[in-house]
Structure 1
Amino acid sequence: MQPIPSSYPMRFLFYVILVIFLTSTSISSSYDGGNETDHHALLKIKSMITRDPYGALTSWNTSLHFCDWYGVKCGKRHRRVTFVALQSLGLEGSLSPHVGNLSFLRVFSLANNSFQGAIPHEIGNLNRLTILYLGANTFNGVIPTNLSGCLNLQKLDLSRNKLVGSIPKEISFLSKLSFLSLGLNKLTGGIPPFLGNITSMETFSVVRNPVGGIIPDTLGNWKKLVGFHSGGCNLSGSIPHSIYNLSLLANFILFENQLTGSLPRGIGAMFSHLEILELNYNQLTGPLPSWISNCSKLRGLDMTDNMFSGKLTIDFSKLGDIEGIYLSFNNFGSSEADEMNFIDSLKNCTTLYRLALAFCKFQGVLPRSIGNLSDQLGSLTLYGNNLHGNLPTSIGNLVGLAGLHLGRNQFTGSIPSTIGKLQKLQYFDLYGNQLSGQLPDALGNLSSLLQLYLFSNKLEGVIPSSIGNCRHLIALQLDDNKFTGKIPQRILQLSSLSIILNLSQNNLFGSLPTEVGDLKMLSALDLSYNNLSGNIPSSLGSCGSLTSLSLKGNLFQGMIPPSLSSLKGLVELDISHNNLSGQIPRFLERFLLEYLNLSYNDFEGEVPQLGVFANASAFSILGNSRLCGGVVELGLPKCKETKKHKEKFPVFVIIILIASSLFTIICLAYAWCKKKSKSRPSQSSMRDRFLKISYAQLLKATNGFSETNLIGNGGFSSVYKGVLNENDDTLVAVKVLRLQNRGAERSFMRECEAWRNIRHRNLLRIITSCSSIDFQGNDFKALVYEFMPKGSLHDWLYTSEGTSRLNYIQITNILADVASALDYLHNHCVPIVVHGDLKPSNILLNDEMVAHVGDFGLARFLGTTSYQNSSTGIRGTIGYAAPEYGLGSDMTTNGDVYSFGMLLLEVMTGKKPTDDIFNEGHSLHKFASMALPDHVMDIIDLNILNIYQGVCEADAQKIEECLASTIKIGVSCSLDSPSLRMNMEKVVHELHRIQNTLPNIEI
């Protein structure tokens, strides 16, 4: 036997260690490589996802350990999946039952996607699960009963799906559950009493489910409850007394149910943590209990539309944090002299921004202490009561008001001139009172005013022309008063008027000024029952947006002007009870009129038979004795045939007519040619036309075109801030062309031509231009514009912090301004102007945040040959330029509409159309389109959502509807097919509708 070599023990030990290492590595690899059960389960989940628009699951492949896949986390010890979060990724498909194999899972979220089908019952196998978020999808079927297997579940969100059936009893076995959200489904069967067994409950929501039934008394066991949300659930009966023992309750929300009974009077300070109390839209009775005064943390109180009665005895002075008080549509009137004294206690509510007391049957005098309310108050609503006496002058102290609603009361006296102090006022109504005296000129100080309703009073005197200072006014109703004098021309020059101008039922006289043609955006004009005379001005035909026109009950004479044929959108036309004559114009046959009244005039000749004239019940021609023909139902005599006697017509008359016509044509042609030769806008003459300021003046105005004065750069130009006149510190913006860049000079000429032809309140105003040489002998060209102190929309969207500084109301106003400008360019300019480069940096804002569209360097004039783009020319900016431009299509108004749509979606979502996520066929348009109609809230920029702070549920719903409507406009404008895009006229209409729908809130 040979001796064992001395090296053997060492070699043997090495082999043993190697085997152990390889074995352990193999085991570790098999284990760490992700427990195959977890790995397999994740792949199965991926396999049932049919759409992944952002490519979020591209990392779910074999090249990465599954613990490193997007949205997945594993425990450090066992390398098992503990966390899966795939929310807000636009995922579509169904949820694989294999999710139940992720046995170590603690957090699982698929919220805000488009998962459908049933929630797999295998999810009940996840006994370690603490958080399950499946909200904002389209899951259907019932809530799985075996969720009871998730014994450690603390938070469960199944809201905003399509779940049916009742809440299963097994839910009550989840003893650790603190958050249960089931809102916005289709659940029925009532709120089950067994839920009271979950004593750990802190937040409970079944909002907007048709659950029905009563509120179980057992819910009083939820001693830790902070939030109770059961609005819109068809609940009946009374609120159980046990609920009032929940001392930690902060949000108590039961709006839009059928609850009855009264609120208890003596519950002491049990609700000391209450912040939001919403019992609006129920059938509650009795007085509002005084214990509400002790809810010192209360921020929102909404009792709208109940049957509360009696004197309002709440001491609001104790509610220092209150922001909104909504008590409208109740029966609070007490007939006591001091019933309005509660107003005095509101002076300590320094954060109050909305006070709504409409239709409450108050009968007292509005106290002078109303002026002591917070200067933060944004809306005061008292319409529909029986308030009387004079309006206190102290109301002018409420300088924060955006909405003042005092209509349908019995106020007397005159409107105090202190109203003019309310510089932020946008909505003002005093209609349906007994106010008298003259309108104060101070109304013209309301520079932010959008809507003014003063109809049905006893106001007299002339209509002050100072109202023409309200340059943003979109609705004005002064009808049913005693105004005299002529219609002020300045009011007719309010091109912002778009909803209605109603001056009917007054004593106005004189002719209708030709300036009425400036109301190009107006939808409804009513001047009926006045003493207006003269001819109907032909300029009225310029009001191309009119859908309703009433001139009845005046003294108009002459014929209906042919220019009215332009009013093709008219639905209602009433010109009855005047002295109009001539024949009924045939162009009325082409209108889509639903109502036409031509009665009691002096029309003659044949009544048309097409269009509205084919339906005898849709029009009236009574009191016109010289009419004939028409449809049989009218019973008019047949029209006599006119015989032609050409042979008897004197030949010499024909010769004279022909000769005189030829002579006239020759004279006119000669004059035109002579004028044309003198005024032909050659390139040199056009340059001379703008040569109004020297290079030296601009050099001095901009401090030598210094970097400190530089405020912007573009492809063809740089823009500097400057002061033209040393004696006048008014700032201007000087746009200096970079003539070395190809196309810059053509851009300059195109922009000059544009500004020569257009003028609108939402277009940047040009002051002058310069075409000269600099001190080195180089060509120099510049344009001088009105300076916009608030910068560009781009500046506001993308600050140094990368976040928008605009709120939704500001954004809506800016979008409406831009839309109005485009509508003017597309529909009210001759020739039609295509802007060609609409984007945030070309939208500038003045001190009042009114938007002005600028930079017409790429503009095109349709129907002319002036400065047309070549087939290879630049067409807009990437991301905003219409897709058809990339295929060589000519520039059209539809291209501007596309740019507007992308701009709108950008400001609403906070995402640029060129963001990195929009590639490989995905786009900002598709991103927004996929969110419609149910997931719009998930794509809205978070800064915009600040509008929700402190608003009631009803207002929140209105805001959501407005946000969705805005996104729809953007999607409709940015469709790939040009012919399917929404036209700008409709865009303007829709945006104004949204502005009017938005609740009056102060952000």
Structure 2
Amino acid sequence: MKSPQAIIHLSSSSLISFLFYGLTIRCLTSATVSASYGGNETDYLALLSFKSKITYDPYKVLTSWNHSFHFCDWSGISCGKRHKRVTVLRLISKGLEGSLSPHVGNLSFLRELSLANNSLQGTIPHELVRLSRLRRLYLLVNKFSGVIPANLSGCSNLEDLWLARNKLVGRIPKEVSLLSKLVGLGIYENKLTGGIPPFLGNITSMEVFSAFGNPFGGRIPDTLGLWKSLTVFASGGCNFSGSIPPSIFNLSLLVNLTLAENHLTGSLPSEIGNKLPNLEFLQLWNNNFHGRGEADDMRFVDSLKNCTRLVELVLYNCNLIGVLPISIGNLSDQLIYLNLGDNQLFGSLPSSIGSLVGLTTLHLGQNRFKGKIPTTIGKLQKLQYLGLYRNQFSGPIPDAIGNLSLLNTLSLLSNKFEGHIPPSLGKCKELNSLSLEDNRLSGKIPKELLQLPSLTYFLVLSYNNLSSSIPSEIKDLKMLNILDLSYNNLSGTITSSLGECISLTTLNLRGNRFQGVIPSSFSSLGGLGVLDISENNLSGKIPQFLDKWKSLEYLNLSFNDFEGEVPVVGVFSNASAFSVLGNNRLCGGLVTLELPKCKKKRNSQPSQSSGSERFMKVSYNQLLKATDGFSTTNLIGEGGHSSVYKGIFDPDDDKPVAIKVLHLQNRGAHKSFLAECEAWRNIRHRNLLKIITSCSSVDFQGNDFKALVYEFMPNGSVHDWLHSSANTSKLNFLQRINILRDVATALDYLHNRCQTTIVHGDLKPSNILLDDDMVAHVGDFGLARLLGADLNQNSSTGVKGTIGYAPPEYGIGSEMTSSGDVYSFGILLLEATTGKKPTDDMFNDGLSLHKFAYMALPDHVIDVIDGDAIVLQCTEANENKVEECLAATIKIGVSCSVDSPPQRMKIEIVVNELQRILYVLQNI
């Protein structure tokens, strides 16, 4: 015979069988039951039915639920002293799985049913309607599905109803409004729809209403203003639209008002703090509030001084417009969290901010604040997070930030800070994340900053003007994960001390001036996932340890001067996981790289043409065949001193070259050839046209013949893209800035990074050539001058540059200088952005391209930009940001092309300004 418990387990599917087997149990155990339960078998059987529906009990909490103990002594059960009936069933966070038995509805004396934080599923039984004495129903954090039972209204004494974090669907049933004693309703994080029904306002006893994370939709009903006792109104992420009803702001007992992540509109009442003096939490972030766009739109802050217990004020991304008033300093001294980020706040940051001494988080990022950070920021001794990123703050980073000894995250990226990084940051002993990228910081990286072992998450200093080498103290950052020093003016060799930063997962040194080889100490950085050392002047062979790193997901070695064989294993086995572009002396590797095969170097004859010229020679006959007899069909360009042909040396290779044939009969052509050869002896850079070989010979008639052979640029010149009708497509704004940055980088190399300063002398759009990837390469060094070299390259009567691009001082006989190249670059930039040549017919009677652009600053730049294509490319994303970038670009061109050479912008500053503009455009 089966045990009574087994019989009940098998037959608990209906009330009839429940009663039938209840009689069976009484027959089998009549003496025990009558003695133990005193006739309260209904509760006993209901509990056993509850147990029977539990399929998993990891903590064995139901082990005590057997006839050996009175059910009042079972785990999780409480009974009344008088009648010994179950009044509380509480099994919270017990890991229970299964469903809720409908027979729980037979526990007629139950006052509390608490099953929160388990994994119960199925529907909520309608039989709970029988629990007329029930006051607290806690079914939150389970997996219940279906709808909220309408007949829960039968639980007329219910005070707390918590069904949150389940999978409930449908609308809030109207019958809920009959729960006249309801104090707390928690239905958050379900899938309820149909909006918040107005009839809920009839439950005037409501104190806590939490419904966030449901796709309700609709508007917040004005009737909720009848909840005069409400202290918590939390309905964020409910897809609400419209404005917050004024009646809500009359609920003077509100402690927590959270309506974040909706689509609410309207404006915040200026008297909000007077109406809701008990507020501790005001969280309205991610909404679409609006004001009048005037400076006093933030005056509601004035009234918040009356909220003397305010702890959190979160108005992130609310479309707020205006000046942050001085009264911000009058907020509660208990305020610990202030977030006004991603709005349209402008003006300066009031020094009164230093009065909020209780703050642990201050987030003002993504606004339009200007001016200096007030030094009073140093008074916020409890501050742990400071986010002022993506504003227009300027001036130095105040030393006072070093007083924030508890600071762990500092984010100041994308501002206009200048000067040095304050060494006082070394006093922030808890700092684990620092982001200063995209500013105008200069000087060295302070060693005090690198001696913070607390820096474990990231240190990002990219897109600044930092100089010198990386201090050896970098070795102290042994736990740092991300280090980004890209796009600065850092130079010298890469310190071997970086090899001691063994926790690095990302290392980015891109776009600096580093020279030498990759340190062997890098072999210790086996945990790197990303290594980017592109756009430097590094050389040597690719270290063998790079192909052995298993964690490496992306490696960028492009645009350096590495040589030798490219591996084909490890990260090098996946063409999308690495880049070696712009390293012209590499060979081998994957077939898709299209690099030459690795072979031994052939012996060759040195050049005899200039004594010191080092390039390999080809014969006149080879060039004749390569160009099909210098056919006009292969002619791709012509100038005063030369003609340029497209040629192919090896028909099997089918890789074209550009062959520049000098017109030696023209005056200055021979000198141009010597100047170009001498220049190419001293330079090699990713943004300079690559010379392959030269020819100094005689033709078949015995005439002198000289030619230079270059890498072929398939996308032609910038002049063609700007002015040729053959190009039907236009360069977009981002492409133009990329090209200008490439040209500026090449000039920076020529002026500042070569052993001998080289002046190009003839910078113009036709001398800027574009490769397959639209990367710009500066060519034609026929007028180049090596400063300090006695080559008799220039005379006072010689031609210097091209009309319109040559600086005015050249016209009065001044010698060629690097500042002359800067002038030419400025004109080139203005031509690229306005689409107008400096020799355009419109420029007469004192008007020049420089003046034309200058007069458009700062508010009318859009009127001088080249056509719709350059603007519309980006305005769809963010019109204001694009216009700021346009203005910043024009300002660079104007600053470079002023008449006075000493007042022209330094080319290294130009590079960083253009990199900053690129950074903004790429992040719109």
TM (norm. structure 1) is 0.53
Cα distance change on mapping 1:59 and 1:413 into 2, 3 Å: closer
> Is 1:204 aligned with 2:185?
yes
Q: Deviations over 1:464-514 (max 9, x none)?
A: 212111121111122222222222111111121112112222222222111
Q: Deviations over 1:378-431 (max 9, x none)?
A: 222232233333332222222222122222233332222222222212111222
> Is 1:617 aligned with 2:597?
no
> Is 1:145 aligned with 2:126?
yes
The DSSP-based 3-state class of the residue aligned with 2:229 is coil
> Is 1:279 aligned with 2:262?
no
Please give the alpha-carbon distance, in whole angstroms, between the structure 1 residues aligned to 2:65 and 2:207. Answer: 40
The alpha carbon displacement at 1:641 in A equals 4.7
Please give the alpha-carbon distance, in whole angstroms, between the structure 2 residues aligned to 1:212 and 1:200. Answer: 24
Q: Is the 8 A contact 2:49 2:103 kept in 1?
A: no
What are the within-5 Å matches in structure 2 for residues 392-407 of structure 1? 392-407=350-365
AA matched with 2:571: V
> Is 1:135 aligned with 2:116?
yes
Q: Deviations over 1:241-276 (max 9, x none)?
A: 43333333333332221223333446895x344333
> Is 1:536 aligned with 2:494?
yes
The DSSP-based 3-state class of the residue aligned with 1:188 is strand
Cα distance change on mapping 1:210 and 1:641 into 2, 3 Å: same
What are the within-5 Å matches in structure 2 for residues 714-725 of structure 1? none
What are the within-5 Å matches in structure 2 for residues 755-794 of structure 1? none
The alpha carbon displacement at 1:166 in A equals 1.9
Cα distance change on mapping 1:345 and 1:242 into 2, 3 Å: closer
The alpha carbon displacement at 1:50 in A equals 7.5
Q: Is the 8 A contact 1:82 1:107 kept in 2?
A: no
> Is 1:82 aligned with 2:85?
yes
Percent of pairs identical after alignment? 52
The alpha carbon displacement at 1:45 in A equals 6.6
Q: Deviations over 1:18-43 (max 9, x none)?
A: xxxxxxxxx99985443376496467
Cα distance change on mapping 1:617 and 1:286 into 2, 3 Å: same
Q: Which runs of 5+ in 2 are unaligned?
A: 1-29, 603-924
Match of 1:325 in 2: 282
> Is 1:632 aligned with 2:591?
yes
The DSSP-based 3-state class of the residue aligned with 2:362 is strand
Please give the alpha-carbon distance, in whole angstroms, between the structure 2 residues aligned to 1:477 and 1:77. Answer: 67
CA RMSD of aligned residues (A): 3.1
Match of 1:124 in 2: 105
The alpha carbon displacement at 1:191 in A equals 0.9
Q: Is the 8 A contact 1:334 1:362 kept in 2?
A: no
The alpha carbon displacement at 1:542 in A equals 0.8
> Is 1:608 aligned with 2:588?
no
Q: Deviations over 1:750-777 (max 9, x none)?
A: xxxxxxxxxxxxxxxxxxxxxxxxxxxx
The alpha carbon displacement at 1:450 in A equals 0.9
Match of 1:316 in 2: 273
Q: Deviations over 1:36-61 (max 9, x none)?
A: 76496467777887877767667667
AA matched with 1:259: F
The DSSP-based 3-state class of the residue aligned with 2:169 is coil
Q: Which moved more, 1:440-449 or 1:582-591?
A: 440-449
Cα distance change on mapping 1:153 and 1:30 into 2, 3 Å: closer
Cα distance change on mapping 1:261 and 1:602 into 2, 3 Å: closer
Cα distance change on mapping 1:63 and 1:456 into 2, 3 Å: closer
Q: How many residues align?
A: 570
> Is 1:108 aligned with 2:89?
yes
Q: Is the 8 A contact 1:542 1:566 kept in 2?
A: yes
> Is 1:35 aligned with 2:38?
yes
TM (norm. structure 2) is 0.57
> Is 1:384 aligned with 2:342?
yes
Match of 2:231 in 1: 250
Cα distance change on mapping 1:57 and 1:550 into 2, 3 Å: closer
> Is 1:588 aligned with 2:546?
yes
Cα distance change on mapping 1:54 and 1:515 into 2, 3 Å: same
Cα distance change on mapping 1:394 and 1:632 into 2, 3 Å: same
Please give the alpha-carbon distance, in whole angstroms, between the structure 1 residues aligned to 2:72 and 2:465. Answer: 81
Match of 2:863 in 1: none
> Is 1:263 aligned with 2:244?
yes
Which of 187, 195, 205 is the equivalent residue of 1:214? 195
Please give the alpha-carbon distance, in whole angstroms, between the structure 1 residues aligned to 2:574 and 2:454. Answer: 36
Which of 221, 225, 229 is the equivalent residue of 2:210? 229
AA matched with 1:144: P
Match of 1:341 in 2: 299
The DSSP-based 3-state class of the residue aligned with 1:364 is strand
Cα distance change on mapping 1:45 and 1:142 into 2, 3 Å: closer
Please give the alpha-carbon distance, in whole angstroms, between the structure 2 residues aligned to 1:444 and 1:347. Answer: 29
The alpha carbon displacement at 1:64 in A equals 6.2
What are the within-5 Å matches in structure 2 for residues 662-811 of structure 1? none
Q: Deviations over 1:598-645 (max 9, x none)?
A: 1222211111111222222332222222111111111111111599xx
Cα distance change on mapping 1:525 and 1:136 into 2, 3 Å: closer
Which of 355, 373, 377 is the equivalent residue of 1:415? 373
Cα distance change on mapping 1:47 and 1:228 into 2, 3 Å: closer
Please give the alpha-carbon distance, in whole angstroms, between the structure 2 residues aligned to 1:562 and 1:493. Answer: 23
Q: Deviations over 1:892-935 (max 9, x none)?
A: xxxxxxxxxxxxxxxxxxxxxxxxxxxxxxxxxxxxxxxxxxxx
Cα distance change on mapping 1:180 and 1:342 into 2, 3 Å: closer
Please give the alpha-carbon distance, in whole angstroms, between the structure 2 residues aligned to 1:74 and 1:396. Answer: 57
Please give the alpha-carbon distance, in whole angstroms, between the structure 2 residues aligned to 1:135 and 1:346. Answer: 37
Q: Is the 8 A contact 2:253 2:276 kept in 1?
A: no
Please give the alpha-carbon distance, in whole angstroms, between the structure 2 residues aligned to 1:554 and 1:428. Answer: 29
The DSSP-based 3-state class of the residue aligned with 2:338 is strand
The alpha carbon displacement at 1:373 in A equals 2.5
Q: Is the 8 A contact 2:257 2:283 kept in 1?
A: no
Please give the alpha-carbon distance, in whole angstroms, between the structure 2 residues aligned to 1:198 and 1:46. Answer: 29
Q: Is the 8 A contact 2:413 2:436 kept in 1?
A: yes
Please give the alpha-carbon distance, in whole angstroms, between the structure 1 residues aligned to 2:601 and 2:458. Answer: 44
Q: Is the 8 A contact 2:40 2:85 kept in 1?
A: no
Please give the alpha-carbon distance, in whole angstroms, between the structure 1 residues aligned to 2:85 and 2:397. Answer: 71
The alpha carbon displacement at 1:221 in A equals 3.0
AA matched with 1:158: L
Q: Deviations over 1:174-200 (max 9, x none)?
A: 333333222222222211122223333
Larger CA Rg, structure 1 vs 2: 2
AA matched with 2:560: N
Please give the alpha-carbon distance, in whole angstroms, between the structure 1 residues aligned to 2:369 and 2:493. Answer: 39
The DSSP-based 3-state class of the residue aligned with 2:153 is helix
